[in-house]
Amino acid sequence: NSKIKQVASARFGVTSQYLVSAEEIQIKLAQGAKPGEGGQLPGSKVYPWIAKTRHSTTGVGLISPPPHHDIYSIEDLAELIYDLKNANRAARINVKLVSEAGVGTIAAGVAKAGAQVILVSGYDGGTGAAPRTSIQNAGLPWELGIAETHQTLILNGLRTRVRIESDSKLLSGRDVAVSCMLGAEEFGFGTSLLMAEGCVMMRVCNLDTCPMGICTQNPELRKNFKGRPEYIVRYLTFVAQELREYMAKLGVRTMDELVGRTDLLRVRPAAGRAAKLDLEAILHNPAIENLNVHCEPKDSYDFHLERTPDMRVLMKKFKLSSTAPQTVSLEVSNTDRAFGSILGSEITRRYGSALPDDTYTVRCTGAGGQSFGAFIPKGLTLELVGESNDYMGKGLSGGKIILRPPQTPGYKPEENIIAGNVALYGATGGRAFVSGVAGERFCVRNSGATAVVEGVGDHGCEYMTGGTVVVLGPTGKNFAAGMTGGVAYVLDEAWDFYQRVNKETVSLQAVEHKHDVAALKELIKEHVEATGSPRGREILDHFAEYLPKFKKVLPYDYDRMLRTIASMEERGLDGEQAQIEAFYAQQKQ
């Protein structure tokens, strides 16, 4: 179980359990070998055990968005940092940047946003799955990024708030010493450790054909793996020994004494065009008198989590030692961010996902703040009478969210927005019932949650890989872009949904199969029971009239794989074995 857990743009496998088990959570804003690009895992590499970990479907390709869709500014980053801190109060929050011109300015914003560690990754970072053009042309050396970040943080009085980490082809004790003298305090090793385990840099990581059995899920190729943990221990011991020798030569006793000591560095004479490079800016020392040039824990950002409703009210009123159903009622305001996340994290620590639904219920009135119900686990239900801001149900991990207007709202709920943008981003499980319209990017990267809503903005169900979504109203444009799994049922009363859906990866079908009809009707029934939705009740009362207006959105590859798995089960294979045989059958086609 890794101590450092990463939160990237696709949020694959980011559950409440995943977060509470971490000692450090790293937000990957960029990757050195392919900054600004999303990733793509071809279906040929999505083995059944990979699909289970990523909450996706065996043999179906996975697409990662280029950006984090809940980060469009430093303020948004501050919100994500705050959300993750609520999801695991004990974890350090690390933000990964890439070395580039101006990274210092970005790092200053990241420090103000509350990050505790800033990782600056160089262009040399190893990922054989990155496009060759990106590896050769994007990013800058880590030396430039570390120096700029360290200097900018000092000049802005922020250096003592955060630790700086460097990585990308750190190979020796000398590399660590140079990185430290430029300003880094922590050091990441990746490529060199793979080489110690036997990697021969074939750069076929994306093809599942690694001859050394390292970057492959192929059982036959994995037999070639000869690496042992002792090889890494021995290698890092030699790196540490070389670092000690350099420290002795420089006359420093601790790493803290070495941080930012650019006066101990000299530019190596070079020939040809390299001699014309002016590297003095890298060696500039902006140290201000009586100001520390390394992190001081006492200066770290204070999130004031003790002021949250979770800590002031919920953690005191709920008896988490008991699994008897309990209910708490309170008012919320739009300043109550990540409501329910701390309570959810404590439930996860105690019970994992073993609790039945509605064990702990919170009934709220008012305006929910950003990230209402983020990462809440199974057993926790949040009911909100009012409205919710952006990111509602972010990373939903089995919990239930019910959002509805007051009983006499004075307007038609199905025509008014009640939930903000990017609701249910990266949800992996649970249920959400929204009596009203949601904003843009509803259920982006949903990989297991079930949701019913009465209208959505642009880019609904984008990059979705699992779960079920029912839309009882109009959608915006670009619906289902990059969707490779799960299913959506959309009510198309205006008969214009065909123009609004992105048909690159999905097909549109009538809802005719009895299984689909029963599933759709049952979800609308649950929606009405949970929210009292007039819209849902109208559709149920005249279901035969509305049914022909529903469209089923189903991804091509997902449909094909489900059919193959079903055929294997008809041959007598059980669930897991059927998936494995279906996976290999797809590879032969």
Do 406 and 289 sit in the same domain of this protein? no
Token look-up 């890794």 returns 2
Q: With beta carbons less than 8 A apart as the criterion, state whether 385 and 405 touch.
A: yes
How many domains are there within the chain?
A: 2
**Residue 476 counted as domain residue:** yes
Let me know if residue 150 belongs to a domain: yes
Q: In what order do the strands lie in the sheet with 186-187?
A: 4-7, 24-28, 92-98, 117-121, 163-167, 186-187
pLDDT of residue 30: 83
Q: Of 237, 272, 299, which residue sits at a domain end?
A: 299
Boundary residue ending a domain (299, 327, 358): 299
The count of other CB atoms within 10 Å of the CB of residue 172 is 14
Residues 326 and 290 placed together within one structural domain of the fold: no
Same domain, 293 and 316: no
Domain span at 514: 307-555
CA–CA separation, 399 vs 361, rounded Å? 10
CA distance 82 to 59: 35
Residue 47 lies in a domain: no
The answer to whether residues 280 and 324 belong to one domain is no
Cβ pair 40, 107 in contact under 8 A: no
**In this structure, are 290 and 396 located in the same domain?**
no
- Residue pLDDT tens, the chain, 589 long: 789 999 999 999 999 999 999 999 999 998 765 666 667 888 888 989 899 999 999 999 888 888 899 999 999 999 999 999 999 999 999 999 999 899 999 999 999 999 999 999 988 766 656 677 777 777 889 999 999 999 999 999 999 999 999 998 899 999 999 999 999 999 999 889 999 999 998 888 878 889 999 988 888 999 999 999 999 999 999 999 999 999 999 999 999 999 999 999 998 888 888 888 888 899 998 876 656 788 888 899 999 999 999 999 999 999 999 999 999 999 999 999 999 999 999 999 999 999 999 999 999 999 999 999 999 999 999 999 999 999 999 999 999 999 999 987 788 889 999 999 999 999 999 999 999 999 999 999 999 999 999 999 999 999 999 999 999 999 999 999 999 999 999 999 999 999 999 999 999 999 999 999 999 999 999 999 999 999 999 999 999 999 999 999 999 999 999 999 999 988 888 878 899 889 888 877 7
Tell me the CATH number at 323. Answer: 2.160.20.60
In a domain? residue 218? no
CATH code assigned at 267: 3.20.20.70
Distance CA 101, CA 106 (A): 10
Q: Which residues pair with 216 in a beta bridge?
A: none
pLDDT at site 268: 87
Nearest to 543 by CA among 553, 558, 560, 528: 528
Q: Would 467 be classed as within a structural domain?
A: yes
The Cα diameter of the chain in Å comes to 84
Domain membership of residue 238 (yes or no) is no
Asked if residue 581 is part of any domain, the answer here is: no
Out of 299, 327, 360, pick the residue that ends a domain.
299
Residue with tokens 């076929």: 204
pLDDT at res. 349: 97
Do residue 392 and residue 509 come from a single domain? yes
Q: Are residues 72 and 172 in the same domain?
A: yes
Q: Cα(394)–Cα(372) distance, rounded to whole angstroms?
A: 8
Q: Are residues 333 and 395 in the same domain?
A: yes
DSSP 306-362: GGSHIIIIIHHHS-TT--S-EEEEEEE-TT-TTTTHHHHHHHHHHHTT-SPTTSEEE
- Do 295 and 390 share a structural domain? no
Same domain for 292 and 342, yes or no, is no
Q: Are residues 318 and 176 in the same domain?
A: no
103-112 and 74-87 helices, crossing angle to 10°? 50
Cβ atoms of 177 and 246 within 8 Å: the answer is: yes
Q: Phi and psi (nearest 5°) for 377?
A: -95, 175
Give residue 1's pLDDT: 79
530 within some domain = yes
Do 526 and 507 belong to one domain? yes
